[in-house]
Amino acid sequence: MNFKSLDITKLDRRTFLKVAAAMGAATFIGTYKADIVKALELSDTNIVWLEGADCCGCSESFLNAAYPDVIQAITRLGIYVGYHETLMMQQGVFVDGRLVGTSELNSELALEEYMTGKKPLDVLVIEGSIADGPEGSGMYTTVGGHPFKELVERCAKQASYVVAIGSCATYGGIPAAKGSVTGNMGAQFLQTAKGGFLGANYVSKAGLPVVNIPCCPAHPDWLTLTLASIIIGKGGLIELDRYNRPTVFFPPDYTIHENCPRRGFYDLGQLDTEFAEGHCLWKLGCKAPITHADCATRLWNASVNMCTQAGSPCIGCAEPVFPDGTSPFYVGMEMMSTLAGVDIDTIAKVAIGAAAVGVGAHAVRRIVMKENE
Ligand code: SF4
Ligand code: SF4
Ligand code: SF4
């Protein structure tokens, strides 16, 4: 089923169930059918959206969602954003060092109600990576004077589900890249290593690990559909890969290269050496052959375009090793000795899993090119 053109807010229940089945949840539907119908009518989901070391680009991406747009998602899916640091009109108001007002008027108090369990916290969305430094204090990233990591820890204890959005929150991203002195990390991973801030064994109240929706920024569909699946399916619709990415958006045995609009040029060997020549971007550093995401079929900007289509090589931002393992961004893989931390010649000669199968063929191209020089 093609999710690209779906407006999930307009689906009748029968179609929704088909969508759910296409997302790999056939057994779920049989078990929870009545709950799904009830949830569609009565869903009332409290979301707390925290931002740490981030650029706010993932919030902005979500606000630019098109099918459905953010208003539809909020009104039809019963999503109540109880706290969002960028979008909330009011922030903490202090008089003589003490918070004043009520939780309706004061975002600091509103957040406190979720962190203490006074209000139910259904979904915690984390944007931005989590600083541990200096010396374990977490003070390199603060919100309202509190270490960000403290807010994450308190909210994660109360949340039924936790969703990390963007490369920063999932795997550390740019704030945790080589040379960082802040001790930044993702919510449950640091690049490919499980653990991160909440630890390898963390599960939310509903029993799920942190659901990771990477990319820089994350596609709004990925978050909206994940939230819908969580709200309606009690998490049962979500199948995760080894890096906790929903496999429906980040298929383990599929790379962006397979459906790239420029794929025909690659197959013909028309590989550009300058930008804007209009052919394949392989020699300009395209990392789509090792990147698992549905960018080329879902498309971005309301299903209009995507990176390689627009002439920009994929920089592999859906992968846990981004950015260290996929950089330098605009250098062809032939020129790199390692890729995603693995020696390219080794990748070419030894099949080491789904990620390597795609790149293996390309690395063979590299070896053949070298041998013919
Ligand atoms: S993942 Fe990228 S877009 Fe999202 S907050 Fe981090 S730097 Fe910004
Ligand atoms: S290498 Fe990049 S630009 Fe070329 S076909 Fe593959 S995905 Fe498209
Ligand atoms: S095409 Fe590549 S760089 Fe662009 S959003 Fe998708 S994974 Fe990121």
Q: Where are the domains of the chain?
A: 8-233, 256-371
**pLDDT confidence band for 4 (50 / 70 / 90):** very low
- Whether residue 306 is predicted with pLDDT greater than 90 in this model: the reply is yes
Our answer on whether the CB atom of 234 is closer than 6 Å to any ligand 2 atom is no
Q: Report the alpha-carbon angle 131-137-141, nearest 5.
A: 40
Q: What is the mean pLDDT of residues 132-148?
A: 95
262 Cβ closer than 6 Å to some ligand 2 atom:
yes
pLDDT at 301 over 80: yes
The best mutation among 256, 260, 305 to test binding of ligand 2, ranked by most ligand atoms within 8 Å of the C-beta, falls on 260
Identical fold between 8-233 and 256-371: no
Judge if the beta carbon of residue 65 lies within 6 A of ligand 3: no
**Residue 354: is its pLDDT beyond 50?**
no
More confident residue, 102 or 59: 59
Q: Please provide residue 186's backbone torsions phi and psi, each rounded to the nearest 5 degrees.
A: -80, 175
Return the H-helix or E-strand segment holding 221.
helix 220-233
Cβ neighbours, 10 Å, residue 95:
8
Q: Under CATH, which number does the domain 8-233 receive? A: 3.40.50.700
Q: How confident is the model at residue 104 (pLDDT cuts 50, 70, 90)?
A: confident
Give the position, in ligand 3's atom list, of the atom nearest the Cα of 287.
Answer: 2
pLDDT at 199: 98
More confident residue, 239 or 361: 239
Closest C-alpha to ligand 2, atom 6:
257
Nearest-atom number in ligand 2 for the CA of 281 is 3
More confident residue, 310 or 290: 310
CA neighbor of 364 nearest in space, from 281, 289, 270: 289
Q: Which residues are catalytic?
A: 55, 58, 168, 216, 257, 260, 280, 286, 295, 307, 314, 317
Q: Which residue has the higher pLDDT, 294 or 101?
A: 294
Q: In sequence order, what are the residues at sequence separation of 6 or more whose Cβ sits closer than 8 angstroms to the Cβ of residue 231?
A: 39, 43, 45, 77, 78, 79, 122, 123
Counting other chains too, the contacts that 332-336 makes at CB distance below 8 Å and 24 or more residues apart are: 332/282, 332/283, 332/284, 332/285, 333/282, 333/285, 333/287, 333/289, 333/359, 333/362, 333/363, 333/366, 334/283, 334/365, 334/366, 334/369, 334/370
Residue-level pLDDT at 140: 97
Give the pLDDT score at 71.
72
**Spatial contact of 282 and 366, defined as CB atoms under 8 Å apart:** no
Distance between start and end Cα atoms, the chain? 45
Q: Is the CB of 307 under 6 A from ligand 3?
A: yes
Taking the C-alpha atoms of residue 171 and residue 280, their distance in angstroms, rounded to an integer, is: 29
User: Of the ranges 152-161, 207-216, 217-226, 306-315, which one carries the lowest mean pLDDT score?
Assistant: 217-226
> What pLDDT does residue 167 have?
98
Residue 364 near residue 321, CB atoms below 8 Å? no
- Ligand 3 atom index nearest CA of 219: 5
> What's the residue count for the chain?
373
Query: What are the residues whose beta carbons fall under 8 Å from the beta carbon of 22, sequence distance 6 or more?
Result: 1, 3
For tokens 């990620």, name the residue. 355
User: Where is mean pLDDT largest: 24-38, 161-175, 243-257?
Assistant: 161-175
pLDDT band at 98 (very low <50, low <70, confident <90, very high): confident
What is the CA(194)–ligand 2 centre distance, in A?
30
Instruction: Give the position of tokens 């820089």.
Output: 216
Between residues 256 and 82, which one has the greater pLDDT? 256
User: Is the bond into 313 cis (omega within 30 degrees of 0)?
Assistant: no
Higher pLDDT, 138 or 303: 138
Per-residue pLDDT, averaged over 255-262, amounts to: 95
pLDDT at 352: 31
For ligand 3, atom 3, name the residue with the nearest CA: 314
Specify whether domain 256-371 bears CATH 3.30.470.20.
no
283 CB within 6 A, ligand 2: no
Look at residues 312, 323, 296, 63 and name the one whose alpha carbon lies nearest to residue 215: 323
Question: What pLDDT is stored for residue 92 in this prediction?
Answer: 62
Write out the two tokens for 157. Answer: 């204890």
Decide if 243 contacts 291 (C-beta within 8 A). Answer: no
